Amino acid sequence: MCQSRADQRSDDYASRSHPLFTLPGYNARVGTSIGSAFRPPPFQRRAMATRQRKQSKLKPLLLPVCCLFVLGYFAYHAVEGDYGLFALGKLQDRVAALEADLASLRAERARMEAHVALMRSESLDKDMIDERAREALNMADAKDIVIFLDASDRRSAP
């Protein structure tokens, strides 16, 4: 009697009684599973058919495009942001203007300090004391020549 290969495999499978070769829920004497009488044994089942999907042309581009958007975001803010290149130029202009103001204020302070140094008790200048007294008392000496200025000329006078 000629047996087919499938029959030989099922007989061979049924003859194995080792627990590693038997499947749970499979009755080797009958050749069926306990749960389904119409399902073929596992060794006779065909591989499960899978559906093949066509590759999307956009999916491989998704990550690079997202990276470009993030890179563009940071590049924009590196140029236009509060601390970007344009803001740096504005801050440098402001620093230059403030440094010029600081230089003029330091010069004015040095002039005032020199003026105060002349009025100290260690280095009293008689002319300075005389000038301050006449200005404070609104008086003049008999030898002084007085020149009256308009209000607009007083502002420009030193």
Domain chopping of the chain, boundaries: 5-44, 61-156
Q: Is 26 helix (H, G, I), strand (E, B) or coil?
A: strand
State the pLDDT at residue 131.
Answer: 82
CA distance 87 to 79: 8
- Check residue 138 and give left, alpha or beta (phi > 0: left; psi -120 to 50: alpha): left
Q: How much of the chain, in percent, has pLDDT values that exceed 90?
A: 29
State the pLDDT at residue 27.
Answer: 54
| Stretches in the chain below the pLDDT threshold 50 | 31-33
Please state the pTM of the whole predicted model.
0.39
